[in-house]
Structure 1
Amino acid sequence: MSEDVFAALEESQQQSPESVLERLIETLTAQKNYHRLFDALLMQQKHAMGLEVLQPTTFDNVPDERKKEFEEAYIEAARKVGNLFLDEKMYSDAWLYFQTIQEPERVSEALSKINPRTVPEDKVEGLIQVCAYEGANPEKGFEIMLQSNGICNTITVFDQMNAQLKPESRKKIAQLLVDQLYTDLVQSLQYHVQQKMPIAPPADNLRELIAGRDWMFEGGSYHIDVSHLNSVVRFARLLSEDDPHLAKVIELCEYGSRLDQQFQYPGESPFEDFYPAHLHFFKALVGEENDRNLAIGYFEKKLEMEPDEDDKQMIAYVLIDLLTRLKMNERAIELAETYLSQFEDPNTFSFTSLCRQTNHLDVLQKVARGKGDLVTFAGALLDAQNKPQPQES
């Protein structure tokens, strides 16, 4: 750094302390030394408050009655520096400041505008780090990951991070993977058809491509990594019941159910018969009453026939999930009371939450009474009393 810069600060001191700080801020801004600019801005604030200015970011030397004033200046300085970093597309540095002041939306919005196809190779890992691993914009992070690292790596990371993500992020990433796998499989099938039947009319969906073409599956043939297919279908259970991607998921299941049995890897209970079981689940969400009845009957029979208590709970969990999506709350609560009333995990299943969401606090009171749980009983009693009553017409 030039000695002239230090000389300029000494010269400014002859005018006033304020001049020193103004010159310091101008210099650091011109140098784009934004981390130190943050320090300088808070140094300026502490000087204005009549406080010692060394260690400018600490609250330790700020009197209690003035902490609010300094906190406001701290937030404004962080916002200013964060925006300067965003202007330079230095997202990780910007995230440090906006996350600290609990304003993550600004960075998330900026990251959402990135086109994964145009990200320079040397920027990929940094963007994935701040987007996915640090949580600035998980969906964009996985989009970049999918474009740069491929679907195999993306599936692995999503499996590892699933529980850490918010439900809305999980859904969007599942949609991303469904779209990618569906597109890849369609292209692979189109190539197979073209090789076998050069004059066949083109088709751009799985159902048409495999209809009446058993020869495509002869000799254990497959057209996509079958472990990827298994994973993406499993992830698709994260999708909402009104998600248009479910149409693609059903076609993926139809394709999977025609694979040689050795490639239809079993899932956890009640999805041992992986693709047929998932077809029941997804068709119930988007189909007619007959599809719903068939699916409910399928999983109820699995529940009835299962001898293992732990597996019974897993089947009950899936069935309750399906029933609540179908707004069949009475049956869902009945099953939950029987099999899952002891579960209170916010990341998987909470009996209390289910009772609240379905307006069955009376059932929660009954279960709490049976357990001798006075606190939950009292809470359910009071919440039921305070629940707004419907207006009479």
Structure 2
Amino acid sequence: MTTATTPIDQLSAEFAQGGPTATLAKAAEILKQQRKYHELFEVLKMQLRHRLSLPITGGEVADDLSEATRNALEEGLVDACRQVGTLLLEQGSVREGWMYLRPVGDKKLAQSLLEKIEADEENSEDLIEVCLHEGIDLGRGFELVLDSYGTCSAITTYDQSVARRPAEEQVPAARKLLERVHRDLVASVKTDIARQEGAQPKESTLAGLLADRDWLMQEGTYHLDTTHLASTVRIARVFNDRADVEKALDLTAYGLRLAEQFQYQGDEPFPATYPHHKLFFSALLGRDIDAALQHFREKAELLDVQYNGTVAIDVYVDLLRRLGRPGEALREAIRMSPAAGQPAGLSLSLLQLASEAGDFESLMHYCRERGDLLGYTAALVRSAK
């Protein structure tokens, strides 16, 4: 008996013994062995259509399919995408693998596969694109930007891409920046102290290193790009974790000691970058809460939303919420909500605040007064739950 030696011969033999079903299975097996994953995807689609008694080429699929058949076809195509996308990522093909996994919508699967791919000069751009810009692993993607392009480019990337996402999604990327800047600044200050004192300092925080060493900051001295420091402090407002907030507060301890020319003006309601961020971070840590609330309440009340938008109200309301006062946050958000015709909306929705406060009556009353049918409906339905 002649042995089938080529893939074509194997397919012919398989067809003679098992027909179309066996032939398609053999073709999938061969293509998987050859790592021809794009062709494998086409065969998997053929298998699916054959199993559903449909013509094996997509162009021949009728439009009048039953709902059950159409659902089975869609589910099968998603599964084929999952299979091929997984195989491609397992071999390190980042962009191609993601092309197939994107319609699957399984970010956890994509992230777990991407974690196994070591970054190098050839794939770093693809990893940045998928991890960062596609939102699969913001922390890793942003760290790759830091490693590949430096802090300045990373901050620009953050402001252009990451900052548009909800605050909780920004945290992994912001943490990479905070850790890098804080680590580098501490190391630089320690090196300066060791050079001038002849021994490595024992302190591990910037506040500790600066204490009783006024000479460190004389004559406009700085130990890290001051614009990077200011940007990192600004970005650190997304943090709730105590360790992150303490590290951000430590950066303000250094920033406050910088010379006047490096005391950059910030955006409202943080016009004095380091003093006002110190207030904010301290409050999150349970310190000087009254002073912080007074400052941000005054900003929220005094700044004209026509020119400044609602950012000051956002910050004040969000601070109240993060301090464990959702009911007060809801009342203040309603009280300060812009009048009709003015810039609208809080970044933190009133519905979310009402849910956290367990107070839907206040929100429904507010919506009734404004004639807000949609808001009233949402509050009414959520109150039932």
* TM score, norm. by length of structure 2: 0.87
Deviation at 1:10, TM superposition (A): 5.2
Q: Are 1:247 and 2:246 counterparts?
A: yes
CA contact (8 A) 1:12 1:20 kept: yes
User: What amino acid maps onto 1:222 in structure 2?
Assistant: Y
When residues 47 and 304 of structure 1 are mapped into structure 2, their CA distance, relative to the original with a 3 A threshold, is: closer
Once the two structures are superposed, the pairs formed by residues 201-212 of structure 1 within 5 Å of their partners are 201-212=201-212
**1:157 — aligned with what?**
157
Q: Are 1:89 and 2:62 counterparts?
A: no
CA contact (8 A) 1:95 1:104 kept: no
Write the distance in 1 (CA, Å) between the matches of 2:181 and 2:146.
Answer: 11
**1:52 — aligned with what?**
55
Q: Are 1:258 and 2:261 counterparts?
A: no
Please list every run of 5 or more consecutive structure 1 residues that lacks an aligned counterpart in the other structure.
Answer: 388-393
User: What amino acid maps onto 2:375 in structure 1?
Assistant: T
Once the two structures are superposed, the pairs formed by residues 51-130 of structure 1 within 5 Å of their partners are 51-55=54-58, 60=63, 62-113=65-116, 119-130=119-130
Structure 2 residue matching 1:295: 3-state secondary structure: helix
Write the distance in 1 (CA, Å) between the matches of 2:381 and 2:349.
Answer: 19
Bigger mean CA deviation after superposition, 76-85 or 246-255: 76-85
Q: Are 1:315 and 2:312 counterparts?
A: yes
Q: Are 1:349 and 2:348 counterparts?
A: yes
Structure 1 residue matching 2:47: 3-state secondary structure: helix
Please list every run of 5 or more consecutive structure 2 residues that lacks an aligned counterpart in the other structure.
Answer: none
Bigger mean CA deviation after superposition, 176-185 or 18-27: 18-27
Deviation at 1:355, TM superposition (A): 2.7
Deviation at 1:63, TM superposition (A): 4.7
Write the distance in 1 (CA, Å) between the matches of 2:112 and 2:304.
Answer: 50
Write the distance in 1 (CA, Å) between the matches of 2:84 and 2:368.
Answer: 55
Bigger mean CA deviation after superposition, 276-285 or 119-128: 119-128
Deviation at 1:287, TM superposition (A): 2.8
CA contact (8 A) 1:320 1:332 kept: yes
When residues 194 and 72 of structure 1 are mapped into structure 2, their CA distance, relative to the original with a 3 A threshold, is: same
Bigger mean CA deviation after superposition, 244-253 or 133-142: 133-142
**1:133 — aligned with what?**
133
Write the distance in 2 (CA, Å) between the matches of 1:89 and 1:199.
Answer: 47
CA contact (8 A) 1:92 1:126 kept: yes
**1:358 — aligned with what?**
357
When residues 278 and 53 of structure 1 are mapped into structure 2, their CA distance, relative to the original with a 3 A threshold, is: same
Instruction: Please give the per-residue CA displacement for 1:320-354, whole angstroms capped at 9, x wherever unaligned.
Output: 111111122343233212222667658x2323332
Deviation at 1:30, TM superposition (A): 2.1
User: What amino acid maps onto 2:362 in structure 1?
Assistant: V
When residues 357 and 330 of structure 1 are mapped into structure 2, their CA distance, relative to the original with a 3 A threshold, is: closer
Instruction: Please give the per-residue CA displacement for 1:163-212, whole angstroms capped at 9, x wherever unaligned.
Output: 44354331111111111000000111112112222136343321121112
Bigger mean CA deviation after superposition, 63-72 or 25-34: 63-72
Deviation at 1:37, TM superposition (A): 0.3
Report percent identity of matched pairs: 32
CA contact (8 A) 1:46 1:56 kept: no
Structure 2 residue matching 1:245: 3-state secondary structure: helix
Write the distance in 1 (CA, Å) between the matches of 2:154 and 2:13.
Answer: 57
**2:376 — aligned with what?**
377
**2:278 — aligned with what?**
279
Bigger mean CA deviation after superposition, 33-42 or 62-71: 62-71
CA contact (8 A) 2:297 2:316 kept: yes
Choose the corresponding residue for 1:335, options 323, 332, 335: 332
Q: Are 1:215 and 2:215 counterparts?
A: yes
Write the distance in 2 (CA, Å) between the matches of 1:298 and 1:286.
Answer: 17
Write the distance in 1 (CA, Å) between the matches of 2:302 and 2:270.
Answer: 14
Write the distance in 2 (CA, Å) between the matches of 1:308 and 1:23.
Answer: 67
Instruction: Please give the per-residue CA displacement for 1:285-337, whole angstroms capped at 9, x wherever unaligned.
Output: 1134xx11121123334455556764484333211111111122343233212
Write the distance in 2 (CA, Å) between the matches of 1:74 and 1:199.
Answer: 65
Write the distance in 1 (CA, Å) between the matches of 2:381 and 2:141.
Answer: 43
Write the distance in 1 (CA, Å) between the matches of 2:318 and 2:245.
Answer: 16
**1:391 — aligned with what?**
none
Instruction: Please give the per-residue CA displacement for 1:205-227, whole angstroms capped at 9, x wherever unaligned.
Output: 21121112222222211111111
User: What amino acid maps onto 1:195 in structure 2?
Assistant: R
CA contact (8 A) 1:323 1:329 kept: yes
Bigger mean CA deviation after superposition, 257-266 or 296-305: 296-305
Deviation at 1:140, TM superposition (A): 1.4
Write the distance in 1 (CA, Å) between the matches of 2:11 and 2:102.
Answer: 33
**2:196 — aligned with what?**
196
Structure 2 residue matching 1:121: 3-state secondary structure: coil
